[in-house]
Amino acid sequence: MKERVFSGMRPTGKLHLGHLAGALTNWVKLQDEYECFYSIVDWHALMSEYADSGQIRSNCREVILDWLASGLDPEKCSIFVQSMVPQHTEIHLALSMITPLGWLERCPTYKDQIRNMQNKDLGTYAFLGYPVLMAGDILLYKASRVPVGEDQSAHLELTREIARRFNYFYGPIFPEPETLLTPTPKVPGTDGRKMSKSYGNSLNISEDLKELWEKLRTMKTDPQRERRKDPGNPDVCPVWDIQKVFNPDLEERERLENGCRTAEIGCIECKKALFAHLEKLLIPIQQRRRYFEQHGDELGDILREGARRAKVVAEGTIDEIVQAIGLFR
């Protein structure tokens, strides 16, 4: 029996190189070792996008395309959209019964988001319960491992606390899931800040390769290196950060690093080397993406099959919950 993994991603639209390096590459590896459930969590998206939900459906499609393109294999893992498995909403309600308000109000991500998202009204009942829905996602499958980045650690901790409290009231139903902390390498965007759709600085997985080169070519490097003859400092160069993530050729990297520090090479040479590696990585990914773009029927089949497999587990857990609480069914 393989251990079970669950992870989710909000449908934000086309995914970028940060998603690839920070999550997807790891998810692809896990599908060989674990029984994996990967879900596009559209209800979570709605919690912040409820006033403008028109993008959610097309964003889900983009995410599924990028997942399949990046190597998630529906023969090895189950891929589905959260709202296709209605048991997610049912477990969310059940868990909300026993979750103390204070736990949610004290959650650091809640306070941060309310402060940072001044353009959206996140003062809703549902948004406070974001971590409860997430706990439900994980506990519905009794997943033992959850691959996430550091930013989700507090939510995983809450998930364990909710599981413990539920078990305390109704008996041992839920295992406490372990965080599989995914090392999230630093992937800056074109402006040097963290790559993020909301900054408009992304290099997308599906980026046209000519455009990718244009973006890379014009990207700022070490600000102190004004002229070709000035020596550079890779430690403060955002292109070098990307190079460290996507150039696996350590010898070449050493050559580039020394060349930069001694001004033997210019930034363009370094960028060309990086682009060659990105091209090599992305060509087969983009080929797979185009295949699925043109075979929409297969996309539907993959999601229906993923949801069917998810429901088999989800229905079992809901039955246990109903029994344990003592609802009349």
For the CB of residue 76, give the shortest distance to ligand TRP in the complex, in Å.
19
Element (H, E) at 62: helix 56-70
Question: Of residues 4, 6, 187, 271, which one binds ligand TRP by CB under 6 A?
Answer: 6
Using the rule CB under 6 A, give the single segment among 1-9, 189-197, 201-209, 228-236 that binds ligand TRP: 1-9
For the CB of residue 225, give the shortest distance to ligand TRP in the complex, in Å.
36
Residue with tokens 């060659």: 276
Give the span between the Cα atoms of 60 and 10, in whole angstroms.
8
Alpha-carbon distances, residue 233 vs 6, 135, 272, 275 (angstroms)? 41, 44, 18, 20
Position 80 contacts ligand TRP (CB under 6 A): no
Residue 43 vs 240, nearer CB to ligand TRP: 43
Q: Kindly state the tokens that stand for 196.
A: 């993020």
Position 314 contacts ligand TRP (CB under 6 A): no
Residue 26 vs 243, nearer CB to ligand TRP: 26
Position 8 contacts ligand TRP (CB under 6 A): yes
Give the span between the Cα atoms of 202 and 199, in whole angstroms.
8
Q: Residue ranges of the alpha helices (H) in 71-208?
A: 87-98, 101-105, 108-116, 125-128, 130-140, 153-170
What is the Cβ-side half-sphere exposure of residue 227, based on CA atoms within 13 angstroms? 2
Per-residue contact flags (x/-) with ligand TRP for residues 98 to 137, judged by CB under 6 A: ------------------------------------x--x
Using the rule CB under 6 A, give the single segment among 3-11, 88-96, 165-173, 206-214 that binds ligand TRP: 3-11
Radius of gyration (C-alpha) of the chain in whole angstroms: 22
Question: Of residues 59, 87, 99, 152, which one binds ligand TRP by CB under 6 A?
Answer: 152
Position 10 contacts ligand TRP (CB under 6 A): yes
60 dihedral zone (left: phi>0; alpha: psi -120 to 50; beta):
alpha
Task: Count the residues of the shown chain that bind ligand TRP, applying the rule CB under 6 A.
Answer: 14
Contact 82, 131 (CB under 8 A): no
Question: Of residues 45, 138, 303, 314, which one binds ligand TRP by CB under 6 A?
Answer: 138
Q: Which of 119, 147, 151 is nearest to 130 (CA)?
A: 151
Question: Of residues 4, 7, 36, 195, which one binds ligand TRP by CB under 6 A?
Answer: 7
Nearest residue to the partner ligand TRP, using Cβ? 8
Provide the binding-site residues for ligand TRP, judged by CB under 6 A. 6-10, 41, 44, 134, 137-138, 146, 148, 152, 155
